[in-house]
Amino acid sequence: MNDKPVEDLGEQEAASELERLAREIAEHDRRYYREDAPAVSDAAYDALRRRNDAIEARFPELIRSESPSRRVGSEVSEKFEKIRHAVPMLSLDNAFSDEDVADFARRVRRFLKLAEDAPLAITAEPKIDGLSLSLRYEKGELVAAATRGDGTTGEDVTRNARTIDDIPNRLKGDAPAVFEVRGEVYMSHAAFAALNARQAGEGKPVYANPRNAAAGSLRQLDAGITRSRALRFFAYAWGEASEGPGRTQMEVVAAIGRFGFPVLDLMRRFETIEELIEHYHRIEEKRAGLGYDIDGVVYKVDDLALQKRLGFVSRSPRWAIAHKFPAEQATTVLRAIEIQVGRTGALTPVAKLDPVTVGGVVVSNATLHNAEEIERLDVRVGDTVMIQRAGDVIPQVLGIVADKRPAGTEPFEFPSVCPCELKTPVVREVTASGAQSVVRRCTGEFACPFQRREHLKLFVSRKAFDIDGLGDKQIDFFYDDPDFRVRTPADIFKMAATNAAGLKKLKDKEGFGEVSASNLFAAIEARRTIPLDRLIFSLGIRHVGEATAKTLARAYGTFEAFHDAALKVAAGDEEAAAEMDALEDIGGAVLTAVAGFFSEEHNLRLIEDLVEQLAIEPAEKPAASSPVSGQTIVFTGSLEQMTRDEAKAMAEALGAKVAGSVSKRTDLVVAGPGAGSKLKKAAEFGVEVIDEDAWFERIGRGGRDGTRSGERD
């Protein structure tokens, strides 16, 4: 951003800066609203907007028609069908101080030509940090759900909305014939933490904050994914209504509550600014304990007749304002810089701080990201630092207070070995473009105790060995308990094999009764037979996620063949490398990771130990001549003879591709009962649709567990 004061800008300069800001803000909006993956912090984004507003205030004649100050959100993504809003969905104007709130009330009074002391009822309620959603009910039935989009046109997320428990499919009581309920879809802190842990465990990207996670989870093409994300919803507004169920904001919201929606129980109505501000502080105090993010308090003129007279200014209603909570920043002293090691061996410097309260939460750790960041900020142990907490994400160090630096401090030296007992050297990866990555890693892999524990958690997770009753908590227990000391995947199976003795020990432990101990051991035993792709995935090789593991399994067929090829790749055998490189979706990053993994002696030992415990099911090589090979198939509706995962695995083993949505390129749709819009799409594109029975017939197989084989004969 140009930091020349706005007062010093010439008209020419102002015009070109406005143009640049419009472009830049539109790009951030696209990433934030459409991709759910912002590139900059909200504070940095807000600064761009404030700069834009300040320049426009000084040069009103330069305001562009596509100015950010006139736009809401971002254009909708082509991934979704569009829905035009009967009543636009707008943003909110912001207030940052008590004075701003008083100004708001004065503006309202002036506009309505009310005396300074005339009574004016205003409501105050929490501003939830999620994304808004409009739900259209006709004759009490939910018929459509749309995101805000650009305010005029939103994305059709009807199927996704139906998976959210807080959203009723039918309104209760006496609802108007047409009624649109509006509110916020959000994700609780607990659900957000669980989702990110799952994503990380599966090697998928994590979400920056609960708001992005909620948006990313709602805006999925596969509503099944939305269903698995534990989204919540609060109603606080409405759109088109054939009849108004009240004359004030309070009355309509109460009616929406009676229709069956969760509404904000911290919503109150007041007559004076003092009371509004008091309520704002009450909500602010509750903030840390709510279990979900709120970023301010929204004030609304209560009387709907007055709201109507007040109307809108470009992108927000004149009758409402959002009183934002102050940025959660504080200063404190940095006592130490500790290096933490993640599952993948990435070294992250963490600032150890004198405890300080930020936004109602006591903070004593903050991230410093990487060595470059420490150098850029020139943070040293002993410095007074400014920290910031945004939502539920780990607080970060923004900078130092230079004049508080004590004498004798020294620049921080980033360690060249892992803090683990192995003292393995730290390496920097080279990115695809040949640059050195800022991430430093311990090369100890499984041998590094920091990586070992996290790796065990990945190993037992759902997409890997999926051992019933063995989750993160139990891994921590077996890792730490002196009677077990589970260190490697093989140890898990060895523990279950020492059955009698191990069981006896386990039964006496807190939290394990006789039954659960034997169940757990039985569950471990049940996984001694494992499909090859799961085994490959469970090794935790960098860049080898579920899909890559499947590709490798299918390409090599047996564990021996895969192991052999991997060892050759590690030894620099060009032919083996070229063969692996040629596989679909496998490229340089996977190859480098496989080579790295299979050249570490301790990894090879670990694999050897593990394989001794297992019976590995070879992968079915795709049958080149299967009736569906090369086809793109979509499964929809509720399948009765196989789960979705099984259907997918079966089709893939036969050389088909499985897609989540129907398009021109779809060759076949297999539909179970309850299939909906995908059938319509299939008809539209002229795609063949068959049922489950026909599917089994086509691929020449009996149903699950062979139950249908009799019929086939």
Ligand X SMILES: NC(=O)c1ccc[n+]([C@@H]2O[C@H](COP(=O)([O-])OP(=O)(O)OC[C@H]3O[C@@H](n4cnc5c(N)ncnc54)[C@H](O)[C@@H]3O)[C@@H](O)[C@H]2O)c1
- Give the nearest distance from C-beta 49 to ligand X in angstroms: 8
356 φ/ψ angles, rounded to the nearest 5 degrees: -145, 145
Cα–Cα distances (Å) from 253 to 120, 181, 257, 265, 275, in that order, read 19, 10, 6, 10, 21
Q: For binding to ligand X (CB under 6 A), which residues are involved?
A: 28-29, 32, 38, 40, 42, 45-46, 91-92, 125, 127-128, 132, 148, 184, 236-237, 298, 322
Side chain identity, residue 692: E
Q: Binding partner of residue 260 among ligand X, Zn ion, none, CB under 5 to 8 Å per kind?
A: none
Nearest-angstrom CA–CA distance, 490 and 607: 8
- Gyration radius of the chain over CA positions: 29
Q: Is 26 annotated as a binding residue?
A: no
Q: Which is nearer to ligand X, 184 or 491 (CB)?
A: 184
At residue 447, the 3 state secondary structure works out as helix
Q: Is 420 annotated as a binding residue?
A: yes
**DSSP E strand boundaries for 190-245:** 232-241
Query: Is residue 411 classed exposed, middle or buried when 0-12, 13-18 and 19+ CB atoms within 10 A define those classes?
Result: exposed
Nearest-angstrom CA–CA distance, 210 and 390: 10
Q: Binding partner of residue 448 among Zn ion, ligand X, none, CB under 5 to 8 Å per kind?
A: Zn ion
Q: Binding partner of residue 292 among Zn ion, ligand X, none, CB under 5 to 8 Å per kind?
A: none
Nearest to 649 by CA among 492, 490, 534: 534
- Give the nearest distance from C-beta 430 to Zn ion in angstroms: 20
**Residue 157 lies near Zn ion (rule: CB under 5 A):** no
**Residue 552 lies near Zn ion (rule: CB under 5 A):** no
Provide the phi-psi class of 486: left if phi over 0, else alpha when psi is between -120 and 50, else beta: beta
Q: Supply 347's token pair.
A: 């070294």
Q: Which is nearer to ligand X, 125 or 284 (CB)?
A: 125
Q: Binding partner of residue 236 among ligand X, Zn ion, none, CB under 5 to 8 Å per kind?
A: ligand X
Q: Is 148 annotated as a binding residue?
A: yes
Side chain identity, residue 365: N
- Give the nearest distance from C-beta 287 to ligand X in angstroms: 14
Nearest-angstrom CA–CA distance, 416 and 420: 12
Q: Using the Cα atoms of residue 401, residue 403, residue 404 and residue 405 in order, give the sign of their dihedral.
A: positive
Cα–Cα distances (Å) from 659 to 327, 665, 669, in that order, read 43, 10, 10
Element (H, E) at 296: strand 294-301
Nearest-angstrom CA–CA distance, 124 and 104: 13
Q: Is 227 annotated as a binding residue?
A: no
- Give the nearest distance from C-beta 433 to Zn ion in angstroms: 27
Residue with tokens 């017939």: 697
- Give the nearest distance from C-beta 125 to ligand X in angstroms: 5
Q: Binding partner of residue 133 among ligand X, Zn ion, none, CB under 5 to 8 Å per kind?
A: none
Q: Which is nearer to ligand X, 127 or 457 (CB)?
A: 127
Please list every residue from 424 through 463 that binds Zn ion, using CB under 5 A: 442, 444, 448
At residue 277, the 3 state secondary structure works out as helix
Q: Which window, 65-73, 151-159, 414-422, 515-523, contacts Zn ion (CB under 5 A)?
A: 414-422
Other beta carbons within 10 Å of 517: 20
* DSSP state at residue 47: H
Binding-site string for Zn ion from residue 674 to residue 713, where x marks contact by CB under 5 A and - marks none: ----------------------------------------
Nearest-angstrom CA–CA distance, 389 and 42: 12
Instruction: Let me know how many helices (H) and strands (E) the chain has, helices first.
Output: 26, 26
Q: Binding partner of residue 442 among Zn ion, ligand X, none, CB under 5 to 8 Å per kind?
A: Zn ion
Q: Is 91 annotated as a binding residue?
A: yes
Say if residues 473 and 440 touch (Cβ distance below 8 Å): no
**DSSP E strand boundaries for 407-515:** 426-430, 436-442
- Give the nearest distance from C-beta 341 to Zn ion in angstroms: 6
Q: Which is nearer to ligand X, 32 or 319 (CB)?
A: 32
Single residue of 167, 420, 492, 634 touching Zn ion by CB under 5 A: 420
Query: Is residue 643 classed exposed, middle or buried when 0-12, 13-18 and 19+ CB atoms within 10 A define those classes?
Result: exposed
Q: Binding partner of residue 45 among Zn ion, ligand X, none, CB under 5 to 8 Å per kind?
A: ligand X
Q: Is 44 annotated as a binding residue?
A: yes
Q: Is 184 annotated as a binding residue?
A: yes
Q: Is 353 annotated as a binding residue?
A: no
Q: Which is nearer to ligand X, 40 or 250 (CB)?
A: 40
Q: Is 92 annotated as a binding residue?
A: yes
Q: Which is nearer to ligand X, 264 or 536 (CB)?
A: 264
Nearest-angstrom CA–CA distance, 127 and 297: 5
At residue 203, the 3 state secondary structure works out as coil
Q: Which is nearer to ligand X, 45 or 465 (CB)?
A: 45
User: Which residues have C-beta within 8 Å of that of residue 653, sequence separation ≥ 6?
Assistant: 554, 619, 620, 622, 623
Q: Which is nearer to Zn ion, 448 or 669 (CB)?
A: 448
Residue with tokens 């060009």: 574
At residue 455, the 3 state secondary structure works out as helix
- Give the nearest distance from C-beta 451 to Zn ion in angstroms: 6
Q: Which is nearer to Zn ion, 422 or 583 (CB)?
A: 422
**Residue 418 lies near Zn ion (rule: CB under 5 A):** yes
- Give the nearest distance from C-beta 111 to ligand X in angstroms: 20
- Give the nearest distance from C-beta 548 to Zn ion in angstroms: 25
Q: Binding partner of residue 420 among ligand X, Zn ion, none, CB under 5 to 8 Å per kind?
A: Zn ion
Please list every residue from 244 through 273 that binds Zn ion, using CB under 5 A: none
Say if residues 267 and 124 touch (Cβ distance below 8 Å): yes
Selecting among 79, 127, 494, 550, the annotated active-site residue is 127
Q: Supply 607's token pair.
A: 């694999």
Q: Is 43 annotated as a binding residue?
A: yes
127 as an active site residue: the answer is yes
Side chain identity, residue 572: G
Q: Is 45 annotated as a binding residue?
A: yes
Q: Which is nearer to ligand X, 38 or 596 (CB)?
A: 38
At residue 260, the 3 state secondary structure works out as coil
Q: Which is nearer to ligand X, 125 or 620 (CB)?
A: 125
- Give the nearest distance from C-beta 127 to Zn ion in angstroms: 44
Nearest to 409 by CA among 433, 430, 387, 385: 385
Nearest-angstrom CA–CA distance, 58 and 601: 67
Q: Supply 265's token pair.
A: 């129980």
Cα–Cα distances (Å) from 92 to 71, 127, 706, in that order, read 12, 10, 59
- Give the nearest distance from C-beta 56 to ligand X in angstroms: 17
In the Cβ-directed half-sphere of 152, how many Cα atoms lie within 13 Å? Answer: 5
Task: Catalog residues that contact Zn ion under the rule CB under 5 A.
Answer: 418, 420, 442, 444, 448
Which residues participate in the annotated binding site?
42-46, 91-92, 125, 148, 184, 300, 324, 418, 420, 442, 448
Question: Which residues are identified as catalytic?
Answer: 127
Residues at the annotated binding site for Zn(2+)? 418, 420, 442, 448
Binding residues for NAD(+): 42-46, 91-92, 125, 148, 184, 300, 324
